[in-house]
Amino acid sequence: MAVSLGSAKAVAPSDPKLRIHCFNGLKASRPVSLSPQLNFLSVSSASGKSVVRAVSTPIKTDSAAETKRSKVEIIKEQSNFIRYPLNEELLTDAPNINESATQIIKFHGSYQQYNRDDRGARNYSFMIRTKNPFGKVPNRLYLVMDDLADQFGSGTLRLTTRQTFQLHGILKKNLKTVMGTIIENMGSTLGACGDLNRNVLAPAAPFTRKDYVFAQQTAENIATLLTPQSGFYFDMWVNGEKITLEDPPEVVKARNDNSHGTNFPDSPEPIYGTQFLPRKFKIAVTVPTDNSVDIFTNDIGAVVISDDNGEPQGFNLYVGGGMGRTHRVETTFPRLSTPLGYVPKEDILYAIKAIVVTQRDNGRRDDRKYSRMKYLVDSWGIEKFRGVVEQSYGKKFEPIRELPQWEFKSYLGWQKQGDGSWFYGLHVDSGRIGGKMKKALREVIEKYNLNVRLTPNQNLILCDIRNAWKRPISKVLAQGGFLEPKFVDSLNITAMACPALPLCPLAITEAERGIPDILKRVRAVFEKVGLKYNESVVIRVTGCPNGCARPYMAELGLVGDGPNSYQIWLGGTPNQTTLARTFMNKVKIQELEKVFEPLFYYWKRKRQAKESFGEFTNRIGFEDLQNWVDKWDGVVKYPGRYNLKLFADKETYEAMEELAVLQNKSAHQLAIEVVRNFVASQQNGKSE
């Protein structure tokens, strides 16, 4: 039996000798005896309404006395640590699972889907997502994933924006085979979805530089620290056999440490408890200047700080980033993370754990729209948040260390690792690998026994390549359709899209299937307004406002807000350090050029030196941008190459053209005459 801590008037068990763990929110402490006089704390919001911040496993109480909790919280509570009812639903002959099981299977790394293009009865299948800290994929695991895609999936591999694989089209009857095969080949899907820590990002490049190696090791340690411990994953898919490497001792020590009341004593889930986290939780680790991971979009961002000799010393920590929002609900929003403080390297796992526990204990559990940690940081303010985290950390955070400017790094093409070997970064449009490309990749990875890294930009890196292998590998990949980076359109290099239709149940309109045509149309507009081929903007497209492809960091973000309709976001920057803002709503896909043309036309003509499109839109302001769009009549076609020099604006050109018609001349001819006459008058000392 257990007790509700989310209600103000919880009913205590009738047995006064019953001992359970006492919690402050979800924060565990020593066991206490319950008595009928025991009171429980509720949390009040600014509006005076009771807001659930955290709960443990409640007993049955009078419904009028219970504080509201979301349906998913009840499902987690009744799941026996993420087992029930999935364990029963997998045994039925139905092609799908029930609503409760669809929530539970997320923690195992899978979503139930159906093809929305099909009419009639729903054709159910499952998406399976792997968990690969910093995108690391051993040779054996890649080959297994390649096989599984062909044998049980849609025949393609999908690289995600969080450095993982997705397999689509897995039938329910094949779930255990696919999951078990991944586990048996040292892969995992545990925690790739659900209300817990997701895949931990870090730069994918296999450099041997100390800070890169340390960032990647730290990402792996954080992932291990926050991996569920209760065994439900192995019980479900490999009959309870725990097939995994032994955890590093420093991770085990940090996980078990309860010196500041962070853990649930005697629980099979010492950090998560029965309820896990209020929502998904995302972490990224990187090194100074390298923003290949979109560091400020994560719940926690950790940046390695090194001394003058390149030796890692500690981390800057940033908290409260997140992309998801809901259309027409202005109280939901994307948010960039806020500086929290600096910690020495030996404390990083304890600091991460303290932040996670703060969200676990205080994040809202009544309304999932507001359950991400960004809302907690935003409502509390960073000072209060820091103070609460420090109680669980047991130390004060040091001041944040100064950093150089950030850059986006794609790691495409041939680059030296630093150990005598090479890596080769391959661009993959929207992360989808199939057909000839998939076969070519399989050939070189298998033949040369290559390890692989997945990037947060949906690309792939082949690692540990000897110099003698470069030419034959390049040849096979070129024959398979992979382009060298210099031949890839610069718009495609930075573009991203989520899968959206037809399988994502949340999609409102197209993203992955629509972005190829959108990019071609943007390139055509560039040509029309005179922008050069090597010029580019960061474009990201999502089929709904959840923001899986991080569109709110793009210079031009398209967010599905209706069938064949997009909300347009402007103002992100190429190095992903500025949040975009909503510019227009409900723009039909066939009318995008009416917005793109004036924006890119004026960027071409009014930008400052080396000013990116995102910087330009922020400097000009949305009011002027909107006026340009509203008054746009099309690109002015000048009859001569010198007209751009003669006419600074459209209005002057049109006035000159009207006068020229009266004299049976072109605007260009009349303008030249006016200029010549003026110059001549000045030379003659006249004043005409």
Could you tell me if residue 244 is left (phi over 0), alpha (psi between -120 and 50 degrees) or otherwise beta? beta
Structural Rg of the chain based on CA atoms? 29
Minimal CA–CA distance to 114: which of 183, 169, 163, 193?
Answer: 169
The structure tokens listed for 441 are 């990749």
DSSP code of 68?
P
pLDDT at position 21 over 50:
no
Q: Which band of pLDDT confidence, cut at 50, 70 and 90, is reported for residue 678?
A: low
Residue 214: predicted pLDDT: 98
Report helix, strand and coil shares of the chain as percent, to nearest 5.
35, 15, 45
Which of 485, 498, 513 shows the shortest CA–CA distance to 415? 485
The alpha carbon of residue 163 and the mean position of all alpha carbons in its chain are separated, in whole angstroms, by 10
Q: What integer pLDDT is reported at residue 5 of this predicted model?
A: 32
Q: Is residue 667 pLDDT above 80, yes or no?
A: no
Let me know: does 87 contact 37? Beta carbons within 8 Å: no
d(CA 120, CA 127): 21
Strand runs labelled E in 171-308: 283-286, 300-306
| pLDDT tens-digit readout, 275-329 | 999 999 999 999 999 999 999 999 999 999 999 999 999 999 999 999 999 999 9
Identity at 528, one-letter amino acid code: K
* 273, two tokens: 């408890």
DSSP H helices, 574-631, are: 592-606, 613-620, 622-630
pLDDT tens column, 378-434? 999 999 999 999 999 999 999 999 999 999 999 999 999 999 999 999 999 999 999
Q: How many helices and strands (H and E) does the chain possess? A: 21, 21
Range from 27-31, 168-172, 414-418, 494-498 carrying the lowest mean pLDDT: 27-31
Distance CA 190, CA 230 (A): 12
CA–CA separation, 23 vs 34, rounded Å?
A: 12
Q: What is the DSSP letter of 607?
A: P
In angstroms, the CA 189 to CA 126 distance is 13
pLDDT for 649 beyond 70:
no
What is the mean pLDDT of the segment spanning 65-73? Answer: 84
Of the candidates 549, 543, 603, the one whose C-alpha atom is nearest the C-alpha of residue 580 is 549
Measured CA to CA, the distance from residue 335 to residue 352 in angstroms comes to: 20
Q: Give whole-number Cα distances, 174 to 393, 574, 599, in Å.
A: 44, 42, 50
Q: Is the pLDDT of residue 370 over 90?
A: yes
Parallel, antiparallel, or unpaired: how do β-strands 124-129 and 110-114 relate? antiparallel
Q: Closest Cα partner for 214 from 129, 299, 161, 290?
A: 290
Burial (CB count within 10 angstroms: exposed 0-12, middle 13-18, buried 19+), residue 29: middle
Task: Give the pLDDT score at 656.
Answer: 74
Cis peptide before 505 (omega within 30 of 0): no
Joined together, the tokens standing for residue 465 give 């390549």
Q: Is residue 670 scored above 80 in pLDDT?
A: no
For residue 518, pLDDT over 60 is answered with yes
Question: Per-residue pLDDT averaged across 534-544, rounded?
Answer: 97
Q: Which residue has the tokens 């139905």?
A: 94
103 touches 78 (CB < 8 A): no
Paired tokens of 236: 């479900």
Residue with tokens 């899907």: 189
Q: What is the pLDDT of residue 245?
A: 87
Helix (H) or strand (E) holding 314: strand 312-319
The model carries a pTM of: 0.85
Give me the pLDDT at residue 653, please. 73
Burial status of residue 628 (CB atoms within 10 A of its CB: 0-12, 13-18, 19 or more) = middle
**Alpha carbons 205 and 423: distance in angstroms, whole number:** 8
In the DSSP assignment, the letter for residue 134 is G
Lowest mean pLDDT among 486-500, 568-582, 645-659, 669-683: 669-683
Instruction: Please state, rounded to an integer, the average pLDDT across all residues of the chain.
Output: 89
Task: Please tell me which residue, 643 or 20, carries the higher pLDDT value.
Answer: 643
CB 365 within 8 A of CB 282: no
Residue 683: predicted pLDDT: 54
The answer to whether 614 and 578 are in contact (CB under 8 A) is yes
- Cα four-point dihedral sign 35, 39, 42, 48: positive
- The residue behind tokens 């949906």 is 458
Q: ∠ at Cα 229 (163, 235), nearest 5°?
A: 90
Q: What is the pLDDT of residue 651?
A: 72
Give the mean model confidence (pLDDT) for residues 559-567.
Answer: 98
